[in-house]
Structure 1
């Protein structure tokens, strides 16, 4: 059986759109210091954020643990999609209206233009997350400020009671398999991903498609599949044995028994 190469080009159907995508891999990198940035908000004033987003989490962003914690980030943090799933603390600086409390957001979307252009580090937060940076009762006043100067830093992602899961994307076949990574504790991001069929002792490198989605071309592909992910930020590795069964199906989600251990922020 011959299972293919590291790169792939494909047409992926998502949200009724045909998207031509290509794959690339970037090197790990992280920063845990407080750094300057700017922030705006979108959606309804007390809203939970976007439905969907450029990372591909779809309707997951509307429910816990993502709900009201989603955020779009500028390209410098989005990293062509490999920044998806990373968690950040964001706090504003105006002591006349801002509390000392930072909000934690999960990268689920990209903010490519406007405030997010020209290499700026920018967060576009849900109305609810933006308002939580204010002194109690002043969320509306803070939202009226529009763009804010903020500080941000990376923080470990925490999904209590959740294990890493792999969603098989719509359109997957025995010759093209695409996976979305969900609920990754700790770093939250993925720098590389490998898959191993039951009939093989070799790990096969998958290609980054877009957002939090990875793929492999080849075939025929036969499960069950073990999946190994390596984080982008600190290169931690986790292997989930036979997590995707032989009778897998597109649009199904398969949950492992493992997760990275979050460290204190």
Structure 2
């Protein structure tokens, strides 16, 4: 997905409205479930989409774009229903999913990364819509096809730490960003995988400015003019935090990706 170019005022209003909707939603329904890795297994259902041995979505509602077609995302992507997608705040989280039918499924759980939302999935139960490749990996040898032929199956699942060996957290500056409206996409955040809060600090400043969740794994801030280089501070859904100093240079440009030297795991 791409952000459409629009006036600074219109983008700022969209950012504010989305943040207000999230506040109202959480006030009405309480805090989201399944925050952080969990040793307990929970019941759910699973289907698959795309090609039988395919990688799943192209792009997706989290905004990762072409990243889902290459490692470490490739063939590990998953779409989820509202309970886990949480209006995009569940993007980047990792889950282990295991089929329970011993006649056709192995005891091996497949690990998937949330990159998409499942349109039309039930809102009152946990559902995973996996890539064809990820779904088939739950089968015993030679039963990949028959398992996919079943369509929807019961599964158990649990949150698991995301692991991106050798990768550091990166920040993609979204198309349409300006010194007055800056939008960032977070890539390769391991550990919890999702973002609880995000702040930036301008060049020469000691003040951290709060960014607002926009959509998917995208965050935005309204200011003017914002002066780089920018430091970025992330907090995971469980409160773990790190700060990448001057990670986005003063000469930043939209659609560029800037990689930090940090991640939550060494």
**Structure-2-length-normalised TM-score:** 0.89
Task: Give 1:118 shift.
Answer: 3.4
SS in 2 for 1:254: strand
Aligned with residue 166 of structure 1, among 168, 171, 178: 171
Q: State the match for 2:8 in structure 1.
A: none
**Aligned equivalents of 2:127 and 2:247: distance in 1?**
36
- The structure in which a higher percent of residues are strand is 1
Q: State the match for 1:4 in structure 2.
A: none
**Aligned equivalents of 1:50 and 1:69: distance in 2?**
10
Return closer, same or farther for 1:54/1:153 CA change in 2, 3 Å cut-off.
Answer: same
Q: State the match for 1:12 in structure 2.
A: 3
Q: State the match for 1:79 in structure 2.
A: 86
Q: State the match for 1:203 in structure 2.
A: 208
**In terms of mean alpha carbon deviation, does 20-29 or 51-60 score higher?**
20-29
**Aligned equivalents of 1:13 and 1:72: distance in 2?**
24
Task: Give 1:130 shift.
Answer: 0.2
Aligned with residue 242 of structure 1, among 240, 246, 254: 246
**Aligned equivalents of 2:36 and 2:182: distance in 1?**
29
**Aligned equivalents of 2:184 and 2:228: distance in 1?**
14
Task: Give 1:218 shift.
Answer: 1.0
SS in 1 for 2:111: strand
Task: Give 1:216 shift.
Answer: 0.3
Number of residue pairs the alignment of both structures matches: 246
Task: Give 1:146 shift.
Answer: 0.6
Q: State the match for 2:123 in structure 1.
A: 118
8 Å CA contact retained: 1:75, 1:112: no
**Aligned equivalents of 2:244 and 2:187: distance in 1?**
13
**Aligned equivalents of 1:196 and 1:82: distance in 2?**
22
Return closer, same or farther for 1:76/1:118 CA change in 2, 3 Å cut-off.
Answer: closer
**Aligned equivalents of 2:131 and 2:119: distance in 1?**
16
SS in 1 for 2:53: coil
**Aligned equivalents of 2:258 and 2:207: distance in 1?**
22
**Aligned equivalents of 1:68 and 1:179: distance in 2?**
25
Gaps spanning 5+ residues in structure 2: where?
6-10
- The structure in which a higher percent of residues are helix is 2
SS in 1 for 2:112: strand
1:50-199 equivalences in 2 (<5 Å): 50-113=57-120, 116-199=121-204
8 Å CA contact retained: 2:135, 2:148: yes
**In terms of mean alpha carbon deviation, does 49-58 or 29-38 score higher?**
29-38
8 Å CA contact retained: 2:230, 2:245: yes
